[in-house]
Amino acid sequence: MVMEQGLSSQSRLILTGLGALLVSAAASSIAGVYLGSAREVLALIPGLMVLLPSIIDMRGNIAGVLASRLSSSMHLGEFSIDFEEGSVLGDNVRASFVITVLIAFVLGIFAYAASLLSGLPTVSITDLVLISVTSGIVSGLLVMGITLLIALISYRYGLDLDMIGAPTVTTSGDVVTLPILVLSAVFVMYLPPWTRLALGVAVVAVAVAVIVYTRRRSEGIGTIVGENLSFLIPLSVLGTLAGLTYSLNLDALVTIAAFLILIPPFTGCLGSIGGILGSRLSTGMHTGELNPSFLPERGVVHHFIISYLYTLILLPLLALIAHGAAVLMGLNSPGLGMLVIISLAAGLVVMTLVNGVAYATASLSFRYGLDPDNFGIPVITSLIDLIGAAALVTVIGLLL
């Protein structure tokens, strides 16, 4: 009887995750279709494609950390619906906004530097930073609102936030951030040069203001911001390199636009799967159900198998959607069969690496007294951005 209840509970968790991932796949495909339709903008505003993966990734990372921290606080009985400073919810929301502003500022600088060093054409550093911060703040507030809504619903109805948080926030990051980034870029580039310069100065002032705000609150908010920035800024390099990888192959991606349509759901869904894995490992170590041993134990391997199962179910579906959208939009596609093979080959390579990195990140951070909630999702999704880009481009080059 106990075994049957355990199996029923496991099945319910797996199906909950799969349901969230299917919704994530559908929503991420909408972002992919939008990216395919915006291919001319990517070509006309140099540097934008370099910025795109990193800013979408960081949006999901920041919201993912927020969801993971809130989930752990629910499991530990520390969560309450209180937005006052000093409360778990209040401090995490304030810290997430500060991180959003500072990371967006850094991403614009990274994208400009990467374009310059690689010899790619780019707009000015002021324009890229302004585009990054504008889209980052607007999309950040929207995604944070969605994350809070999901967290409060989970708390109210007793749902497992680990299983629905990562898919929801990474998908909302894709769907919300991509059009806002494109619209922000077009808006900024239409402004007169002197207006762009003045707004650039204002952005620097805002960045300084949030740094001063954080330094005056060393406890709670300051601790969260400091710990997150210490690894989110280095991880931003991975997203920028992913954007650089796509930019160097932009002509091929624009020519066979089905690949552009595939990119957001491919990286988004793999990020969601990895996010679920990271959240489950983090919660398991917080509650003592999993041990941060050198080699993964049986319970961890069970989570790995579930991740592969999700991958095998979702990637062919994403290829089908990308191919169908390309055909309906009159865009080029390599064919459904080839698109399925490419997505599965690249996806399984990515997921194999992600399983190892997710476990290493959770166990090492927990073993050294750090909060794995802060590290799991950002490390996983940033890694997926880079190795996903490299795997897709490599498999495309080998098979076409």
User: pLDDT 10s digit of each residue in the chain, 400 long?
Assistant: 433 444 456 677 677 778 778 877 787 788 788 887 777 787 778 888 889 888 877 777 787 777 777 777 776 776 667 677 767 787 888 888 888 889 999 999 999 999 999 888 889 999 999 999 999 889 888 888 888 888 888 777 776 676 666 667 767 777 788 889 889 999 998 999 899 999 989 989 988 888 888 877 667 777 778 878 887 888 888 888 888 888 888 777 777 888 888 888 888 788 778 877 877 787 777 677 777 777 777 778 888 888 899 999 999 999 999 999 889 888 888 999 999 999 999 999 999 988 888 888 778 777 776 666 566 667 777 788 888 888 888 898 888 7
Q: What is the pTM of this model?
A: 0.75
Q: Are 241 and 50 in contact (CB under 8 A)?
A: no
Rounded to whole angstroms, what are the CA distances from 158 to 162, 303, 360?
A: 12, 22, 29
Q: Are 396 and 252 in contact (CB under 8 A)?
A: yes
- Pairwise CA distance, residues 191 & 199, whole Å: 10
- Predicted confidence at residue 167, as pLDDT, reads 65
Of the candidates 9, 27, 60, the one whose C-alpha atom is nearest the C-alpha of residue 314 is 27
Of the candidates 57, 17, 65, 33, the one whose C-alpha atom is nearest the C-alpha of residue 267 is 57
- Predicted confidence at residue 323, as pLDDT, reads 92
- Pairwise CA distance, residues 209 & 212, whole Å: 5
Of the candidates 128, 163, 136, the one whose C-alpha atom is nearest the C-alpha of residue 48 is 128
- Predicted confidence at residue 336, as pLDDT, reads 92
- Predicted confidence at residue 170, as pLDDT, reads 67
- Predicted confidence at residue 129, as pLDDT, reads 93
Q: Name all contacts of 71-77 with Cβ < 8 Å and 24+ positions apart.
A: 71/151, 71/154, 71/160, 71/161, 71/162, 71/165, 71/279, 71/283, 71/373, 72/282, 72/283, 72/286, 72/371, 72/373, 74/154, 74/155, 74/161, 75/283, 75/286, 75/287, 76/286, 76/287
DSSP state of 335: -
- Predicted confidence at residue 5, as pLDDT, reads 43
Q: Are 55 and 181 in contact (CB under 8 A)?
A: yes
- Pairwise CA distance, residues 277 & 283, whole Å: 10
- Pairwise CA distance, residues 99 & 244, whole Å: 23
With b for 16 or more beta-carbon neighbours within 10 A and e for fewer, the 133-161 pattern comes to: bbbbbbbbebbbebbbebbeebbeeebbb
Q: Are 27 and 176 in contact (CB under 8 A)?
A: no
